[in-house]
Structure 1
Amino acid sequence: MTLRELELFYYLTENPHVSQLSKKIGISQSAISLAIKSLEKKLGEPLFDRIGKKLVLNERGRFFKEKTHKHYLALKDAQLMFTQNTLFGTLKIASSKTIGEFIMPQIFFDFLSQYPNTSIIKDIKNSTQIIQMLLDGEIDMGIIEIETNEPHIIKEKLGSDKLIIVTSDKKLANKNLFIDQLFYKKWILREKGSGTREIFLDSLGSNAQEIELFMKFTEFEEIKTLLKYNNDIITCLSKFVVTDELQREELFEVIPKNINLQRNLYLVYNKNKYKTNLFSLFQKHLKNNFHIEESLP
């Protein structure tokens, strides 16, 4: 059944005189009759009783109207939104943990404030999970912390982030040390698949095999609490995560020699993704407001 057939059906429920309706909406009586007969044929039974020159709803017609009218109105609203090119819809976006907790909230807030007819379903996953979600079509876009050469994924650089080695051991504050001079500490890292973990271990090369992982963590508050109360613990995090603690001198940065802990952050999406107006506008908004490099302390 078509929207036009349904529209004429609802018109007739309010004005059962085909001739009057024909004049009111500027459609021939035969076109109205053909549309109603087509609708009834698709449903398998009449919706009107033909009484004189009137079409009067029968019991099946009343039931059909009751069950369908609100859905028809919703479809008409949706059609109007498309024809008027109004920005609307829902985006599904997954961000890696550092980005999702420390950078994206304000970006989401500003976008939704500007476009109130839109919505965003947010998720926080590690970078590897986000890539898989894109391949499976579960999300529209992701923001990740690792390099990827997956052929079905398009990546666009958003900015760079600085990872630091951090501890509550004040004796190591701002010390410039080789990484193997820190192997005696209890190392705590994010779970496998985390961009922070992968960048850190990759930067160590063969030395990565020498680190004995004491435990892993998923929540930033968990690791910060452990760091504050155990000065024999050490980890690698984005500087964003511990900016306040560094300023209050609750935690301290250790500067590793000959190790580059910069990383690129990327917007990623499936190469087969159809770019709606909403997708393209948020993509532009994200690029214009992702000012992580300028914000680094």
Structure 2
Amino acid sequence: MRYSLRQIEVFLAIAHHENVSRAAEQLALSQSAASGALKELENQFDVQLFDRIGKRLKLNEQGRLLRTKAESLLALATEVQEELSTDKALGNLQVGATLTIGNYLCVDLMEAYLQAAPEAHINLNIANTERIKHELLNFDIDIGMLEGEIQHPDLDIQAWREDKMVCFCSPEHKLAKKQQVSASELKQQSWILREIGSGTRQTFDRAMDKSAGKPQVRLELEQTEAIKRAVSKGLGISCLSEICLEEDFKHGNLVPLACNELDLSRTLYLAVHKHKYRNASLEQWLKLCQEG
């Protein structure tokens, strides 16, 4: 074989960081060793995989075509190594999840996974939908768990479970005691919402556009708990998944606002890069998601 797995590993690290120094640091190599491995790979096949732009190395078309196959190859090689060195087939996992899923649904999944693989390590990265999509396409994570709808030809996206969002306010708000509120009444309120790019915001904006039009957005916050606290202080009303509001409604800290005119139902999704090698760890996580 004219190439080594180390060369492939170096190539992928440089593709990720677009910088030889950072790639070398990740792989615990000297900069010269990393640079030499890439140069040797390119010379062996008389190809150039990167365009050199100052100190940055940007994948060219040849490099992009190689990267998807190289990711699968390295993942398979890693699995073979793990199975040869241990009797546990399940290994480490990189999971990306949007806010509600990461904070409220992933804990049970991690517990179930670690029961089967107690020595494994799970890295859970919580970010908004657009960020998770970027990380999937960059092979930074093994699987994405999303509240927002995304489309990309390189991603395998499947419906996971249904969810419903709920508008809510503080107990002292003027709408708190109403059995039903209209979409026009909601539009007139000051809103505290998730940032644009989040799945929660995507669902809310779509529902309001269909029923009442754009509301007055007073605050945009990236954290669910910050939104709930701001609403409880009377700074405005909001809309979040009912998953993260159950305890607040139960204790009366926040009050749901019923509005039959708004369709706030949505689907949660699982996404994997089509060129990602589905090892035993990834398949086990997908199985747990479908069973949960």
TM-score grouping bracket, smaller chain normalisation: 0.5 to 0.7
Paired position in structure 1 for 2:196: 192
Paired position in structure 2 for 1:81: 83
Paired position in structure 2 for 1:108: 110
Q: 1:118-150: CA deviations, max 9, x gaps?
A: 221111011111111111111110100122221
Paired position in structure 2 for 1:255: 258
Alpha-carbon shift at residue 85 of structure 1 (Å): 6.2
In structure 2, distance between residues paired with 1:243 and 1:79: 44
1:120 to 119, 122, 125: 122
Alpha-carbon shift at residue 206 of structure 1 (Å): 5.4
1:266 to 255, 266, 269: 269
TM-score by length of structure 2 reads 0.67
1:202 lines up with 2:198 in the alignment: no
In structure 1, distance between residues paired with 2:134 and 2:121: 23
**SS of residue in 2 equivalent to 1:155:** strand
| Distance change >3 Å, CA 162–CA 80, structure 1 → 2 | closer
CA RMSD of aligned residues (A): 2.3
Alignment of 1:50-61 (within 5 A): none
In structure 2, distance between residues paired with 1:269 and 1:80: 22
| Distance change >3 Å, CA 173–CA 268, structure 1 → 2 | farther
The answer to which of 244-253 and 192-201 deviates more is: 244-253
Alignment of 1:36-47 (within 5 A): none
Paired position in structure 2 for 1:145: 147
Alpha-carbon shift at residue 259 of structure 1 (Å): 1.6
Specify the code of the residue in structure 2 equivalent to 1:134: L
- The structure that has the greater radius of gyration is 1
Gaps of 5+ in 1: 3-77, 290-297
Alignment of 1:1-297 (within 5 A): 79=81, 81-82=83-84, 86-168=88-170, 169=173, 171-173=175-177, 175-205=179-209, 209-230=213-234, 233-289=236-292
Q: Is the 2:208–2:215 contact (alpha carbons within 8 Å) kept by the matching residues of 1?
A: no
In structure 2, distance between residues paired with 1:93 and 1:198: 22
Q: 1:197-248: CA deviations, max 9, x gaps?
A: 1001011225665311101111222122111121x51111011111111111
**SS of residue in 2 equivalent to 1:163:** strand
Identity of aligned residues (%): 25
| Distance change >3 Å, CA 79–CA 198, structure 1 → 2 | closer
Gaps of 5+ in 2: 5-79
Number of equivalent positions: 213
In structure 1, distance between residues paired with 2:175 and 2:208: 23
TM-score by length of structure 1 reads 0.66
Q: Flag as ranges the 4+ runs of structure 1 deviating above 4 A.
A: 206-209
Alpha-carbon shift at residue 79 of structure 1 (Å): 4.4
In structure 2, distance between residues paired with 1:98 and 1:149: 20
In structure 2, distance between residues paired with 1:80 and 1:126: 32
Alpha-carbon shift at residue 82 of structure 1 (Å): 3.0
